[in-house]
Structure 1
Amino acid sequence: MPTNRRTILKQLAGTTAVGALAGCVGVSETDSTSTPDESGNGGGDDGEETTAQEETESAGPAGTFTLWHQRAEAEKKALEQNAEAFTSETKHTADPAEIADLRKKTTSAIPAGQGASMFDWAHDWTGEYYQNGFLSDQSESLDVDLSVYTQPAQAAVQFDGATVALPYAAETVGLIYNEDLVDEPPETIAEMVSIMEEHHDPENGKYGLSYPLNAYFMSAWAHAFGGYYFDESNVELGLSKEATLDGFRLILDNFVPYQPKDTGYDPQAAVFLEGNAPFAINGPWFLGDVKSNGIDAGIARLPSPEGDAEPKPYTTVKQLYFTTRVDEDEAKAAAAREFAEWYTTNTDVLSNNAEEFGYIPVYKELAESGDLPAAVEGFSKSVALGTPIPSHPNMGDVWGPLEDAFNSVKNGDAELQSAFEKAESDIRSNWE
């Protein structure tokens, strides 16, 4: 019943996460290459003892659900601890499973009636997945009111009036700096270039900047001068607009000269993690690796270009999606809902995520508390400047051609204007 589930949420928020995050709950082992099947009749307690906690649990049988994710190692371990904590305090079983290629797996398994009840990803898949029939509307079944989350988070988990997920964090890219190499973060691009020049020595494996040049990471500058990738209100592309091209020129002129030649994620990340670059432009998901590599890092908002321009990076809301597999039986659905409600409103879990991984809370009680870690404050400044990724299904066709166009220009194989005009033509052909 609803009242009982609210009681569970309240009790778990006060006790469960503390024990798990203190290391009192072991980390479960998950095969990253497996595709677990789910049983709607997952077991509860094998013994006959009845605890006070069990007496407050919702009516109905115990449920087992699988949660697919594609998290980095440190974040994966935290999620597994949280899942074990939830499982130990309820009759339900939460089973997180790492999937190497989450998009490929979800788009093949869910339509085939296989896969997980929930998966963990940013909000940009919402429109596409809902229209393709992959997601379940839980509007009438959730106990948590969406008003407890920030307004952008409320909007992110809904599409066409359906609530298909619950949100737990916002994220975007910011400026990460090595405090052993940089005293104060630069406020302008010009200041940043000056520092990069000082440290750039590629012949000795030293670089000025670690910066993966994919479409998401580059969005801050494409939007900085009034440009845009995609206007979902009018279903209109802006890649070849002069204001957008000005942003790409900024990257080519100010950042590319100070980076390793291979601008893919792993080579760029390695430079900063090895202590061989003063700056990284990356997101909160990177902080776990930064910390584990012993780098003392600070986080600041992205520096400003000259004039009135401001970086406006794409922002995303991280959320737990409900797939159509959750509808197979009520026990599975109840287990998945209760975990999602608990995970997204538990201040201990959310505070730990903020402290350890730089997740920006979207649960209002914590987001508006004024008591967030310095790393989160740094990223939150970039979030405040940013713009949400469109969740329109057509947005999915923008990323690939955009990156192909930019790389062709960066490699000297095409001119900027013509490359992005071709990208727009390719995208429109895909739409048709």
Structure 2
Amino acid sequence: MDRRTVLKNLGIAGTIGGLAGCVGVQEQGSTEEPSSDGGSGDGGSESSGSETTESSGPAGEAKLWYSLPDSEIQARKNAMQQFNDQSKHAVTGADIADLEKKTTSAIPAGQGPQSFEWAHDWVGDYYQRNFVVGRGDSLSVSLDTFTDAAAEAVQFDGETVGLPHSAETVSLVYNKDKVDSAPETVADMVSVMEEQHDPSNNSYGLSYPFNSYFVSAWLQAFGGYYFDSEKDPQLGIDQSSTVEGLQFILDNFVPYVPKDPSYEAQAAAFAEGNAAFAFNGPWYLATLNEKGVNYGVTTLPKPEGGEPTPYTGITMWYFSKAMKEGGADAMAAQKFIEWYVTNEDRALMAAEEQGTIPVLKSLAGSEDLPPRVRAFSEAVAQGRPMPTHPKMNKVWGPLDDALIKSFNGDAKPKKALEQAAATVRKNWE
């Protein structure tokens, strides 16, 4: 659940600054000519990436689909053009406004691309529906190249259904004009929020969108969990440890946020300089830069007796069903993907320009990363990848409803989460 999945699957309509581009970019047709400018942006250099852009056999041409904010489209064109310039294979790309709708209709009809890019939370569902295929046996890139979380995210039922290139999660952002130093514990953070919170003067201690992705760090901080296919019960949102996490949020964070739990209201408070802290993701940095906020990013503070465990999203290139039979076009897609995900120069440039978090082991947490991105990278290490099991898709909505009831004081955490769990189990039937 990267920035695109957060906005779409959790019903958020981001409307401020650069975030607006994440909601839905207008579809630009089934193919899009790559830019002729291959020397900058997302490209990087051949020497720092995979050296497997050539292969034996006839050259192929692969179609790639993705859904990007406007600010990232030119960089993607540059990357594709650089690959095309140095390979006998070729790729063309299309930015798709509703990628889920388009992939689920086009792929079964044999009209989909060789590969598409999205967060890893579609892995289980798309594999079981035969929309994606495993190609682990044909890869020249080892999964050991990536962080453990990234390698785990692209696998299902023992099959490697794509390759990862970046990660995203929620961490703590602080206003340097209001906060002397980054808090290490929740208690430290609360003491600052108490000083800064004055709603009558449009001043808040915290900006915190209240939905199941953003609050996952705390619901899972004391042993709680949302869903785990290897546990009994698989559904954990009504477990006592998860309830404890929700109560912790209501006691320590909710008293210091704006009364409106929506993304727009919460994100705007910090972006306009009216909050000391914000829980948000790397996609938010473009907005803060545009607004001129003097901010820093740090890892999540520690609660007493627990450990913050946020969900992380891994953005990946999926191996579409169109690659099942192999052939030149499938090889073109695979060679591009292998080059793209292993190219350190490209990953570093994306980190600098777009705030993306590399998942190459050689770069994760590296001093070569911009400090703000490095802090998010460390936050990713605190977390766990979202479940890829298809059952997880039925958890988000009821859990969101329970959280809003608790936020508004319409239900106690235990009752709200028990009702959500009952709804999820009914939907599973």
Q: Which of 96, 99, 117 pairs up with 1:99?
A: 96
Q: Which of 153, 164, 182 pairs up with 2:161?
A: 164
- Residues in 1 aligned to 2:151 and 2:170: alpha-carbon distance in whole angstroms: 21
SS across alignment from 1:208:
strand
Aligned amino acid, residue 374 of structure 1: P
1:29-428, aligned counterparts within 5 Å?
32-34=25-27, 36-37=29-30, 57-234=54-231, 236-306=234-304, 308-327=305-324, 330-367=327-364, 370-428=367-425
User: Contact 2:54–2:335 at 8 Å: present in 1 too?
Assistant: no
Identity of counterpart residues, as a percentage?
52
Cα deviation, residue 379, structure 1: 1.8
Distance 1:317 1:256, change over 3 A: same
Distance 1:294 1:115, change over 3 A: farther
Distance 1:187 1:166, change over 3 A: same
Range moving further from structure 2, 381-390 or 107-116? 107-116
SS across alignment from 2:352:
helix
SS across alignment from 2:357:
coil
SS across alignment from 2:134:
coil
Aligned amino acid, residue 319 of structure 2: F
Range moving further from structure 2, 127-136 or 61-70? 61-70
User: Contact 1:75–1:288 at 8 Å: present in 2 too?
Assistant: no
Cα deviation, residue 358, structure 1: 3.6
Cα deviation, residue 97, structure 1: 3.1
- Residues in 1 aligned to 2:188 and 2:85: alpha-carbon distance in whole angstroms: 52
Cα deviation, residue 408, structure 1: 1.7
Deviations, residues 353-408 of structure 1 (Å, cap 9, x unaligned): 22334433222233375533322331233222222222111111111110011112
Deviations, residues 80-103 of structure 1 (Å, cap 9, x unaligned): 332232233334443343333333
Gaps of 5+ in 2: 1-23, 37-52
Deviations, residues 25-48 of structure 1 (Å, cap 9, x unaligned): xxxxxx932263369xx99x9xxx
SS across alignment from 1:111:
coil
Range moving further from structure 2, 140-149 or 398-407? 140-149
1:7 matched to which residue of 2? none
- Residues in 2 aligned to 1:364 and 1:310: alpha-carbon distance in whole angstroms: 23
Distance 1:305 1:366, change over 3 A: closer
| Equivalences, count | 389
1:27 matched to which residue of 2? none
- Residues in 1 aligned to 2:163 and 2:29: alpha-carbon distance in whole angstroms: 22
User: Contact 2:208–2:266 at 8 Å: present in 1 too?
Assistant: yes
Bigger relative CO (Cα 8 Å, ≥ 6 apart): 2
Gaps of 5+ in 1: 1-30, 46-55
User: Contact 1:74–1:289 at 8 Å: present in 2 too?
Assistant: no
Range moving further from structure 2, 290-299 or 345-354? 290-299
User: Contact 1:169–1:362 at 8 Å: present in 2 too?
Assistant: yes
Cα deviation, residue 251, structure 1: 1.8
Range moving further from structure 2, 277-286 or 75-84? 75-84
Aligned amino acid, residue 143 of structure 2: L
Distance 1:188 1:365, change over 3 A: closer
1:14 matched to which residue of 2? none
Deviations, residues 142-187 of structure 1 (Å, cap 9, x unaligned): 2222222222222221212221111112322110112222221111
Cα deviation, residue 62, structure 1: 4.2
Cα deviation, residue 278, structure 1: 2.1
Cα deviation, residue 240, structure 1: 1.6
- Residues in 2 aligned to 1:84 and 1:276: alpha-carbon distance in whole angstroms: 43
User: Contact 1:74–1:288 at 8 Å: present in 2 too?
Assistant: no
Aligned amino acid, residue 402 of structure 2: A
Range moving further from structure 2, 401-410 or 384-393? 384-393
User: Contact 2:60–2:330 at 8 Å: present in 1 too?
Assistant: yes
SS across alignment from 1:230:
coil
User: Normalising by structure 1, what TM-score?
Assistant: 0.82
Cα deviation, residue 320, structure 1: 1.0
- Residues in 1 aligned to 2:226 and 2:284: alpha-carbon distance in whole angstroms: 25
SS across alignment from 1:280:
strand
Distance 1:414 1:200, change over 3 A: same
- Residues in 2 aligned to 1:208 and 1:276: alpha-carbon distance in whole angstroms: 8
1:17 matched to which residue of 2? none
Cα deviation, residue 67, structure 1: 2.8
User: Contact 1:72–1:285 at 8 Å: present in 2 too?
Assistant: no
2:19 matched to which residue of 1? none
SS across alignment from 1:121:
strand
Two-structure CA RMSD over aligned residues (Å)? 2.7
